[in-house]
Amino acid sequence: MGGEKFGSFGRATPPARQAISTDDAIALLKSGTAKPNSLIGYGNGRSYGDSCQNDAGAVVDMRPLNRIRAFNAETGVIEADAGVLLCDIIAHAAPYGFFPAVVPGTQFVTLGGAIANDVHGKNHETAGTFGCHVLRIGLARSSGEPLTLSREENAELFAATIGGLGLTGVILWAEVKLAAITSAYLDTETIALEVIGPDADAEVARLERPGP
């Protein structure tokens, strides 16, 4: 399989020609016959550039791997397959009062893609990147044996996998700490800009007129 289904958002490069399932990818990795550069994870293709493409081999279609494995409604810790979309995590956790601590400008990205690109949100200055909230990662590497990565276990590989663009292996699952939703309302501050220029008074009068 391959083709349009495996393009990237920016359409900068032709879509991947070849795609395989995670089961086939793991079998290939375990057989020891996978060639260097032959496989790369493909989340939901929401990358602007070509990072989810692989001219030299195949992409691994993560989307069928889409199970939420565990969720603690007390702590907000969720464990899910890498192909789960952020919108599905939100649908699952929001009724319990939890939300991903960091979300990009689209909710249609996979958990694996959010980790591999270490995505940022509009709250970057306070929450950091998505990777700051990842607790554990399950990773399949060329040895075929899945590894568990965390800040304590395989710590260097954990750090390299967050923002690693899929180059350290295929992320199979991850455990993430969600943020508690403190309120359904937003705190907002409106700051008026100074109107300058020859028609400033008329412009201020226009802006102050009640709207329709």
Ligand X SMILES: Cc1cc2nc3c(=O)[nH]c(=O)nc-3n(C[C@H](O)[C@H](O)[C@H](O)COP(=O)(O)OP(=O)(O)OC[C@H]3O[C@@H](n4cnc5c(N)ncnc54)[C@H](O)[C@@H]3O)c2cc1C
Given the complex with ligand X, which of 76 and 161 has the nearer CB atom?
A: 161
How far apart are CB 44 and ligand X at their closest, in Å? 4
How far apart are CB 121 and ligand X at their closest, in Å? 6
Q: Is residue 112 at the binding interface for ligand X, with CB under 6 A as the rule?
A: yes
Measured distance CA(85)–CA(129) in Å, rounded = 17
Tell me which DSSP letter residue 6 carries. G
41 bridge partner residues: 60
Site string for ligand X, 146-185 (x = CB under 6 A): -------------------xx---xx--------------
Task: Map the footprint of ligand X across residues 65-94, applying CB under 6 A.
Answer: 82
The alpha helices in the chain, defined as continuous H runs, are 22-31, 86-93, 111-116, 124-127, 155-161, 200-208
Given the complex with ligand X, which of 15 and 112 has the nearer CB atom?
A: 112
Q: Is 30 helix (H, G, I), strand (E, B) or coil?
A: helix
Q: For residue 206, with 0-12 CB atoms within 10 Å meaning exposed, 13-18 middle and 19 or more buried, which class applies?
A: exposed
Q: Is residue 105 at the binding interface for ligand X, with CB under 6 A as the rule?
A: yes
Among 28, 117, 147, 157, binds ligand X (CB under 6 A): 117
Q: Is residue 42 at the binding interface for ligand X, with CB under 6 A as the rule?
A: yes
Q: Is residue 7 at the binding interface for ligand X, with CB under 6 A as the rule?
A: no
Strand pairing report for 77-81 and 98-99? unpaired
- What are the phi and psi torsion angles at 140 (to 5°)? -100, 125
Q: Is residue 100 at the binding interface for ligand X, with CB under 6 A as the rule?
A: no
How far apart are CB 148 and ligand X at their closest, in Å? 15
Question: Which residue's entry shows tokens 């691994």?
Answer: 60
Residue count of the chain: 212
Q: Is residue 44 at the binding interface for ligand X, with CB under 6 A as the rule?
A: yes
The site that binds ligand X (CB under 6 A) totals a number of residues, namely: 29
Among 21, 51, 142, 154, binds ligand X (CB under 6 A): 51
Across 33-169, where does the E strand assignment appear? 39-42, 58-61, 68-71, 77-81, 98-99, 134-140, 147-150
What's the half-sphere exposure (Cβ side, CA atoms, 13 Å) at 46?
A: 20
Residues that bind ligand X (CB under 6 A): 9, 40-47, 51-52, 62, 82, 104-106, 109-110, 112-114, 116-117, 119-120, 165-166, 170-171
